[in-house]
With several copies, the nearest count.
Chain A
Amino acid sequence: MEYTDKVMDHFQNPRNMGKIDNPSAVGEVGNATCGDIMRIYLDIEEDVIKDVKFQTYGCGAAIATTSIMTELVKGKKLEDALKVTNANVAEELGGLPPVKMHCSNLAADALQAAIEDYKNKNQE
């Protein structure tokens, strides 16, 4: 795979990898059939992402995109986090091979799912 150095860096040294005990919210997307599963744990205080962790099953791009996505949203307000992620995870990584572009979508979806989970819980 023609991955950029940045992708390989995040693959080798994923940021925020792991889980949060008693998280504010959890989001998970994908399934093993399609080959990628991403799970995002969020620790949210006053609509700000205090902490974020991820676990990913998937290829190098899947792991790197989840990693960089957590970096991009950590410390952000929820509304800003949603904007960031929809935008340019791939760009931040210095590009992704065309066949891997779906990975950055998936990372965004995982974050959205987690925030969705948070909103659902808070409505209750």
Chain B
Amino acid sequence: MELIYMDHAATTPLDQRVLEYMLPTLQDVYGNASSVHRKGQEARKLVEEARSKIAEVIGATPREIYFTAGGTEADNLAIFGVAEALGLTKGRHLITTSVEHHAVQDSFLKLQEIGFDITFLPSDQYGRVNPQDVAEAIRPDTILVSIMHANNEIGTIQPIAEIGKITREKGVYFHVDAVQTVGHIPVDVQTMNIDLLSLAAHKFYGPKGIGALYVRRGVRVKPHIYGGAQERGLRAGTENVPGIVGMGKAIELAVAEMEERGKKEIYLRDKLIEGILKIPDVRLNGHPTERLPGNVNVSILYIEGESILLSLDLEGICASSGSACTSGSLDPSHVLLNIGLDHATAHGSLRLTLGKDNTEEEVDRVLEVLPTVVHRLRVMSPIWPENLLK
């Protein structure tokens, strides 16, 4: 049975061209990039090349890019870093949304716990935030607005450029979690007026365990991890040279091939959505058009997500769900709840996220398998209307 991987929002395979590019740093270029000697300097050179590539792609300068261990750490650094830099002087109010990734949400909950004042903006039924709401929420003591570029679960893209205009006008820092968008859709920190931007390589066919935070020149951020003087004092720890080098290569390839990949993914995505919506009692989650090229998210009524995933997995199809059983907590996805789904509908969510190597045959196979799986589980379900006790 051929495996069909449709969980690219969770992680992407490492592009083999990236692996090949990384290999020297896993072999002969083993020096510590902070060492004075040639083994250190050859590593340093590759690190700085990667930094330049990343900067170029998002419209930044190399000195504005700081490597972290991933998207989560980049988000933590941005949020705790700004809170600490400005919390005792400019103010203690921060604004975010109710549909952020846990890396952002939980950082804000932590800040709230230690006495910061956090506004969680609502979203509409598609998961979109209203820029006007952002404008109205900003106060004199607001130090940061943090809003994701696109949602990892439902794929909805936020009006970042519009919000950036507002935050810039009001003189408030703007952080954007772009973990799901960099390498997939255009991101430009200049035209979008972004001050801090989080990236993670493993979402664009780069290695796991490496990410970066863009920090606009002059923006004040305190470190979150203390120690050596790496990353110009903002992020201590021996540089993950292979990770950094792989991230640089991956972003280069992703941007070069973005248009082509995007077109194909959108075509397959729309075919998938159309096909799945033919199953009765299924609803699309997320925005119908303002959504990531590869994202499909539906709620399938009367059945639970994990059991759908297991059934698909038995057919060789890899997917994900916002069901509590897969969320690592007792509740289903806060994103699904916050766009207005009830618990049962959220439990029945199914996310299929396409990548550059998915094919139309794979989409066809999913559309063949899924209705059977759904029917089988519904027949088993005590809440399927046909099974209700009279």
Contact = CB atoms under 8 A, between A and B. Distances in A.
Contact present between A and B (CB < 8 A): yes
Interface of A: 1-3, 8, 11-12, 14, 17, 19, 26, 28, 32-39, 55-60, 62-63
A58 B324 CA distance: 10
B389 A26 contact: yes
Given A11-B310, A60-B307, A35 B387 contact: no
Contacts of A2: 41, 44
Contacts of B347: 32, 35
Given A39-B382, A57-B302, A1 B343 contact: no
Contacts, number: 74
B266 interface: no
Given A1-B310, A33-B343, A35-B324, 9 more contacts: A2-B41, A14-B380, A32-B343, A34-B324, A34-B330, A39-B389, A59-B305, A59-B306, A59-B325
Interface of B: 36, 41, 44, 302-307, 310, 314, 323-325, 330, 332, 342-344, 347, 380-383, 387, 389
A58 B307 contact: yes
19 contacts: A2-B44, A3-B310, A26-B389, A32-B344, A33-B342, A33-B344, A35-B332, A35-B343, A37-B381, A37-B383, A39-B382, A39-B389, A55-B380, A55-B381, A56-B380, A57-B380, A58-B304, A59-B305, A63-B307
Contacts of A3: 310
Nearest to A3: B310
A57 B41 contact: no
Given A35-B343, A63-B380, A12 B332 contact: no
- Among B314, B330, B343, B381, max chain A CB count under 10 A is at B381
Contacts of B325: 35, 58-59
A32 B389 contact: no
B323 A35 contact: yes
A1 B36 contact: yes
B314 A12 contact: yes
A19 B307 contact: no
A66 to B, nearest CB: 9
Contact of B382 (A11, A14, A28): A28
Contacts of A38: 382
Nearest to A1: B36
Nearest to B324: A35
A6 B306 CA distance: 17
B387 A19 contact: yes
Nearest to B345: A32
A83 B159 CA distance: 56
A62 B306 CA distance: 10
A32 B383 contact: yes
Contacts of A32: 342-344, 347, 383
B323 A1 contact: no
A4 to B, nearest CB: 12
A60 B312 CA distance: 12
A60 B310 contact: yes
A64 to B, nearest CB: 10
B44 A55 contact: no
B76 to A, nearest CB: 25
Contact of A56 (B36, B306, B343, B382): B382
A60 B306 contact: yes
Contact of A57 (B36, B324, B342, B382): B382
B82 to A, nearest CB: 25
B178 to A, nearest CB: 29
Nearest to B323: A35
B156 to A, nearest CB: 24
Contact of B304 (A12, A17, A57): A57
